[in-house]
Amino acid sequence: MTKITKFPSALISGDCTTSSLVLDGGSIIDQCIVTAGERGTFFLEQHLLYVVLGGSVKLTCGRQTWTVGKNEMILLRRAQSVSYEKQGSEETGLFESQLFAINDELLKDFLTSQQVQIPQMAEELGTQVSPMSERLVAYCWSLSPYFNDPSQVNPGLLRLKVMELLYNVMDCSKNIFRQMLQLRQPVKTDIHRVVEENYTSPISLDELAYLSGRSLSSFKREFQDIYGEPPARWIREKRLSKAHEMLQSSSLSVADIAYSLGFENPTHFSRIFKQQYGTSPISLCGRVSRHNQMA
């Protein structure tokens, strides 16, 4: 089981080994060049424009799966867990991509400077893979020299390069740009679907409210009306119940189960699990192991 990596904070803090350019301590451009077969899971703290320049990547978010190939891109909304599996190209065996973290403030600055009128959207635009124009592909390759020595890149120049990206998307990919506009005005989504698809992610109530297209106060009020209890308590009990089920039916370690259900600290998970069920999770793991040995 792969631990969920927070994007982009894990890259900004240096916890990951990829080459990155950081703008204003928040937005980031990450370059990834690896051999085939790498797998993992990101939790998106910011919106992600995922660009593939070589090979392909299979992305899974909730019940949806997309395959992004060479010279294609996809825009993913923040506050979601996304699993990935990368495949290298037939020619070189390498997978090459660039990941652009787009924060709300940067997007707001761009839309304000362009005086873009954001239309009211009655329906949510579905996430989909989009082809890149020749201009967008050339733009991405123009960034390659910047990754050689990120510390020498002038912050003002880097900000201009990010703005250049947004100009290119606006001019060359209407579908992706419309999705970006939607990020500034989330469409109301069914609360049942939002919480059921995301309760196992390391997600805050603010982020759940955002995904549902509601203010935090409205989300809490509607959640209480639907489930009859506060969302924080429901999520905690739902995670612990799922953990109890997994401990009895799988051979995964306590840490693997904790991470897979959105707990960031296995020690904290073990403590609240014992409070809930009167026994430690490791004791249930031991029972599964002994049963497997006897079988």
Distance CA 247, CA 283 (A): 9
Question: What would the pLDDT profile of 45-63 be if each residue is shown by its tens digit?
Answer: 888 999 999 999 999 987 8
What confidence score (pLDDT) does residue 108 get? 82
What confidence score (pLDDT) does residue 121 get? 54
Domain 4-183 matching CATH 3.40.47.10: the answer reads: no
Write the burial class of residue 226 (CB in 10 Å: 0-12 exposed, 13-18 middle, 19+ buried): middle
What confidence score (pLDDT) does residue 124 get? 63
| Fold held by 191-294 | Arc Repressor Mutant, subunit A (1.10.10)
**φ, ψ (nearest 5 deg) of residue 258:** -60, -50
Distance CA 255, CA 260 (A): 9
Four-point Cα dihedral 60, 262, 210, 28, nearest 10: -70
Question: What would the pLDDT profile of 89-117 be if each residue is shown by its tens digit?
Answer: 988 889 999 999 888 888 888 888 777 66
Q: Is the Cβ–Cβ distance between 165 and 110 less than 8 Å? A: no
What confidence score (pLDDT) does residue 75 get? 95
Distance CA 248, CA 258 (A): 14
Tens digit of pLDDT at every position of the chain (295 positions): 456 778 887 766 555 546 788 876 556 788 888 766 788 888 888 889 999 999 999 999 878 899 999 999 999 988 888 889 999 998 888 999 999 988 888 888 888 877 766 555 556 667 899 999 999 999 999 998 888 888 888 888 888 898 899 999 998 888 898 888 877 666 677 888 888 888 888 788 888 888 787 888 999 999 999 999 999 999 999 999 999 998 888 788 898 888 888 888 889 999 999 999 998 888 877 554 444 443 3
CA 102 to each of CA 75, 120, 262: distance values in angstroms, whole numbers, following the listed order: 10, 21, 23
What confidence score (pLDDT) does residue 295 get? 39
Give the domain ranges of the chain.
Answer: 4-183, 191-294
